[in-house]
Amino acid sequence: MWKLILGFLVFAGGAMYLLSQGGDIDMGGEKHGVEAHEPASGAASAASH
């Protein structure tokens, strides 16, 4: 069990480190609305999540 916890913490720590270095990324998951196909749409920010 301790190996799993350690592994998870190392893995999560790595992701947190990368996020802290430049984590401007959409973590909101797959988009199902029209915004996924309208790269320049002004509506994207409003209805995308």
Partner 1 sequence: MSSIPAPVRGAASPMTPEEKKVIFASSLGTVFEWYDFYLYGSLAAIIARQFFSGLDPSAAFIFALLAFAAGFIVRPFGALVFGRLGDMIGRKYTFLVTILIMGLATFIVGVLPNYASIGVAAPVILITLRMLQGLALGGEYGGAATYVAEHAPHGRRGAYTAWIQTTATLGLFLSLMVILSTRTIVGEEAFADWGWRVPFIVSILLLGISVWIRLSMNESPAFKKMKEEGKTSKAPLSESFGQWRNLKVVLLALFGLVAGQAVVWYSGQFYALFFLTSVLKVDGSTANMLVAASLIIGTPFFVVFGTLSDRIGRKPIILAGLLLAVVTYFPLFKALTAAANPDLARAQATVPIVVKADPATCSFQGSPVAREVDFTNPCDIAKRALAQNSASYANEAAPAGAGAVIRIGDREIVPPSGALIAGGHKFDEASGKAIAQFKKDVAAALKEAGYPPKADPAKMDKVKIVLILSVLVLYVTMVYGPIAAMLVEMFPTRIRYTSMSLPYHIGNGWFGGLMPTIAFAMVAQNGNIYHGLWYPVTIAAVTFVIGLLFVRETKDVDIYAGD
**Taking the C-alpha atoms of 35, 38, 42 and 48 in order, what is their torsion angle to the nearest 10 degrees?**
10
The single residue among 2, 3, 6, 29 that binds partner 1, judged by CB under 8 A, is 29
The single residue among 2, 3, 6, 41 that binds partner 1, judged by CB under 8 A, is 41
Kindly state whether residue 6 participates in binding partner 1, applying the rule CB under 8 A.
no
Supply the minimum distance, in Å, between the C-beta of residue 27 and partner 1. Answer: 5
Closest alpha carbon to 36 in 19, 49, 17, 25: 49
The residues binding partner 1 (CB under 8 A) are 5, 8-9, 11-12, 14-16, 18-39, 41-49
